[in-house]
């Protein structure tokens, strides 16, 4: 905090007001990572906001140019680290479009199911974190309890809790483990009631309502102009969901509603996410019911490891194939592709330029949080410093994705 | 994968006959090559034409095609919320790269253009606030250019970098951190 002493004037002097520059972050619990906001304050009213980002910049796009396509999956995990399966899926789809292949149906169901689990996991975090930013700690603890169930499911499928890297070009890494379906059915049975608990906990909290309803309103025009996507856009009344409007994978076989709200305030953004979790549970249930037996990865020796891993131990060709794919990767035909999915935060797009080699010539990540953070400029009626915290929390930026 | 609804090209080619180049379509996205001086007019036309309504700017991407000439490129991905169409606009730029800013058409272009400036040194003319966005102020060079080494140049703070031109920036330890 700078220049606070300027406001302490001696008695009798003319009132001399001056704008105060307040540095919020980069280390601040309510910035959800390392975000630095330079706020120009007139008293407690925010006149101007200038976000400084880049504290987590790791050069994902530059790094990707020196990695093979399979090696890039772990990099994508670290974009939106709250929901890595979505990032994996977005990248895999882009490469598959370039190659002109599609994953087997079973793999598509597995990926969609995991992406929806990730969506719940991401939304749970903000469902709890927004009330916590505004002083209501309890919701976060309940949300973390359920998130732990998802972490356990992830661990069961992939062996990792956070950075799953489970997708591969042309499928997923391995099939679902034995005993997984009962576990996820149990989760689907329990979870909708828990959502009701959060709502009772938060929606009856008058302080929370006062601090979010009518605060940080973004109009539909502003939201589109600022490029918002995902729940942030739908909370402003724009009915757009890539899962429905440009269906990828098996989403055209699944029934779900696109949640919209008219208000465009912080509370609407929070509600949108809560309702989307219900829809995600519906999608997961349908995935379990519809999932056919079959391959979990394409049977293409030039792209994927041998489907039958035992072959590597007894066949020279399979061993060479395994070695070649690990060491060299696979050639991707020259071309350009932009492929977008509906990630939990919004439109996650990968623009890949291939020059025919096993490494991308250029990979651009259209990170939803990066764009959504610009919503800070579209908010018209968040006047107080305390409102800024509510707005920031409700936009739900993940700084690792903002900074790439 | 469902069939993509196809874009109505007629009004575009009629209006910009001979100025832009139609590069066909790839993976469901129509591609146009546009000279830099027409980019703002073209984007505004796509956004405001009642039959097109490309009101959503998904992404702006800088590309370095070193050692080709023209070396740089900006790539715009547009989406039409009412029509569910996507379009890609490519704009080849010389060296040093300069292109008019489209921040007047979509406000979201602001940060995308700052990123392309930061990473590739593409100067967006008419941008209201063209500062670096990821790298710190005072950083020399544009890290995502193809001739910038992956590990950076060797200096006091980066002992693993590549031997290269001595960094011309002031010493970071004594540098004053800019406010605001």
The mean pLDDT value of chain A amounts to 87
The pLDDT assigned to A300 comes to 84
Task: Report how many helices (DSSP H) and strands (DSSP E) chain B contains, helices first.
Answer: 3, 7
- CATH code at position A318: 1.10.645.10
Lowest-pLDDT choice from A13-17, A52-56, A250-254, B148-152? A13-17
Mean pLDDT of A10-33: 72
B140-154 pLDDT tens trace: 788 888 888 888 888
Whether the CB-CB separation of B89 and B106 falls below 8 Å is answered with: no
Counting the structural domains of chain A, the total is 1
Query: Residue A276 domain-assigned?
Result: yes
Average pLDDT over residues A246-270: 90
Give A208-222 pLDDT, tens digit per residue: 888 888 888 888 988
Q: Which of B64, B110, B132 has the CB atom closest to A374's CB atom? A: B110
Q: What is the pLDDT of residues B10-41, one digit of tens each?
A: 778 878 888 888 888 888 888 889 999 889 98
Whether A362 is covered by a domain: the verdict is: no
Domains detected in chain B: 9-134 (3.30.460.80)
Distance from CA of A248 to the nearest CA of B (A): 6
Between chains, do A224 and B180 touch, taking CB under 8 Å as contact? no
The answer to whether residue A287 sits within a structural domain is: yes
Asked whether residue A52 is assigned to any structural domain, the reply reads no
Q: Could you tell me if residue B110 is left (phi over 0), alpha (psi between -120 and 50 degrees) or otherwise beta?
A: alpha
pLDDT at A5 over 70: no
Cα–Cα distance for residue pair A388/A155, rounded to 1 Å: 36
pLDDT band at A92 (very low <50, low <70, confident <90, very high): very high
Percentage of chain A beyond pLDDT 90 is 37
For residue A340, the 8-state DSSP code is: E
Spatial separation of the C-alpha atoms in residues A54 and B135, rounded to whole Å:
6
Whether B4 shows a pLDDT value over 60: the answer reads no
Domain that holds residue A317: 70-343
Q: Decide if A349 and B106 are in contact by the 8 Å CB cutoff.
A: no
- Kindly tell me if the per-residue pLDDT of A14 is higher than 80: no
Across the interface, of B26, B63, B134, the residue whose CB is closest to A54 is: B134
Q: b/e string for A158-184 if b means 16 or more Cβ within 10 A?
A: beeeebbbbbbbbbbbebbeeeeeeeb
Range with the lowest mean pLDDT among A16-30, A282-296, A389-403?
Answer: A16-30
Cα four-point dihedral sign A305, A310, A313, A318: negative
The β-bridge partners of A52 are A36
Asked whether residue A13 is domain-assigned, the answer is no
Nearest to B59 among A21, A40, A349 (CB): A349
B interface with A, Cβ–Cβ < 8 A, is 1-2, 4, 26-27, 29, 55-59, 61, 63-64, 75, 77, 81, 84, 86, 88, 106-108, 110-112, 115, 119, 132-136, 143-144, 150, 179-180
Chain-chain contact of A403 with B134 (C-beta, under 8 angstroms): yes
pLDDT averaged over chain B? 82
Asked if the Cβ–Cβ distance from A338 to B180 is below 8 Å, we say no
- Tell me the C-alpha distance between A17 and A8, whole Å: 10
Residue A251 lies in a domain: yes
Inter-chain Cβ pairs, chain A and chain B, closer than 8 A: 98
Q: Which residue of B55, B77, B144 is in closest CB contact with A61? A: B144
> What ipTM did this prediction achieve?
0.84
Output the pLDDT for position B146: 86
Q: Any idea how long chain A is? A: 404
- Which chain B residues contact residue A335 at CB under 8 A? 26-27
Check residue A46 and give its pLDDT.
84
- pTM for the model stands at 0.87
Q: How far from the centroid of its chain's Cα atoms is residue B94's Cα? A: 13
A370: chain B residues, CB-CB within 8 Å: 111, 115
Rounded CA gap, A270 and A394, in Å? Answer: 6
The reply to whether A375 falls in a domain is no
Has residue A248 been placed in a domain? yes
Q: For an interface test with A, which of B47, B55, B59, B88 has the most A Cβ atoms less than 10 Å from its Cβ?
A: B59
Give the pLDDT confidence of A238-251 residue by residue, as tens digits.
999 999 988 888 99
With a cut of 70, say whether residue B165 has pLDDT above it.
no
């Amino acid at each position: 905090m700078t220049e606070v002493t300027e406001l302490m004037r001696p008695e009798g002097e003319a009132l001399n007001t001056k704008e105060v520059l307040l540095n919020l972050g980069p280390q601040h619990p309510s910035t959800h990572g390392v975000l630095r906001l330079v706020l120009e304050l007139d008293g407690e009213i925010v006149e101007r906001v200038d976000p400084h980002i880049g504290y987590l910049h790791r050069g994902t796009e530059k790094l990707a140019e020196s990695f093979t396509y399979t090696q890039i999956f772990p990099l994508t995990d670290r974009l939106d680290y709250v929901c890595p399966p979505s990032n994996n899926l977005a990248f895999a789809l882009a490469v598959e479009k370039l190659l002109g292949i599609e994953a087997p149906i079973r793999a598509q169901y597995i990926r969609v199911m995991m992406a929806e689990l990730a969506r719940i996991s991401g939304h749970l975090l903000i469902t709890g974190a927004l009330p916590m930013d505004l002083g209501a700690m309890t919701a976060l603890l309940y949300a973390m309890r359920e998130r732990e169930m998802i972490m356990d499911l992830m661990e069961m499928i992939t062996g990792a809790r956070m950075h799953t890297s489970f997708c591969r070009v042309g499928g997923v890494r391995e099939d679902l483990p034995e005993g997984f379906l009962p576990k996820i059915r149990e989760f689907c049975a329990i979870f909708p009631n828990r959502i009701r608990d959060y709502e009772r906990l938060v929606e009856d909290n008058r302080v929370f309502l006062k601090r979010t309803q009518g605060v940080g309103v973004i109009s539909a025009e502003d939201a589109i102009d600022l490029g918002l996507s995902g729940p942030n856009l739908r909370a402003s009344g724009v009915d757009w969901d890539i899962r429905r409007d440009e269906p990828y994978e098996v989403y055209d076989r699944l029934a779900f509603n696109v949640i919209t709200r008219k208000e465009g305030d912080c509370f609407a953004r929070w509600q949108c996410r809560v309702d989307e979790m219900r829809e995600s549970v519906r999608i997961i249930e349908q995935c379990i019911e519809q999932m056919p037996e079959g391959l979990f990865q394409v049977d293409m020796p030039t792209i994927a490891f041998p489907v039958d891993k035992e072959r590597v131990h007894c066949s020279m060709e399979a061993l060479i194939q395994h070695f070649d794919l690990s060491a060299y990767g696979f050639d991707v035909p020259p071309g350009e592709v932009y492929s977008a999915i509906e990630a939990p935060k919004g439109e996650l797009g990968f623009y890949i330029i291939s020059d025919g080699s096993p490494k991308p010539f250029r990979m651009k990540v259209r990170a939803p949080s990066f764009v959504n953070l610009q919503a800070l400029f579209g908010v018209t009626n968040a006047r107080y410093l305390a409102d800024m915290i509510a707005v920031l929390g409700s936009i739900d930026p993940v700084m690792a994705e903002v900074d790439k | 994968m469902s069939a993509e609804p196809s874009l109505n090209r007629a009004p575009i080619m009629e209006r910009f006959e001979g100025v832009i180049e139609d590069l066909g379509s790839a993976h469901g996205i129509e591609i146009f090559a546009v000279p830099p001086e027409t980019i703002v007019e073209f984007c505004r036309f796509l956004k405001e034409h009642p039959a097109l309504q490309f009101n959503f700017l998904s992404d702006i991407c800088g590309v370095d095609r070193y050692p080709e000439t023209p070396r740089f490129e900006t790539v715009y991905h547009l989406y039409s919320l009412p029509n569910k169409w996507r379009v890609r606009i490519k704009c080849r730029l010389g060296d040093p790269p300069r292109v008019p800013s489209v921040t007047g058409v979509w406000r979201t272009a602001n940060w995308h253009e700052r990123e392309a400036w930061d990473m590739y040194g593409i100067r967006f003319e008419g941008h209201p606030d063209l500062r670096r966005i990821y790298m710190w102020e005072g950083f020399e060079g544009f890290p995502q250019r193809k001739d910038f080494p992956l590990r950076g140049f060797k200096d006091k703070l980066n002992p693993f970098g590549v031997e290269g031109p001595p960094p011309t920036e002031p010493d970071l330890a004594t540098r004053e951190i800019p406010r605001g």
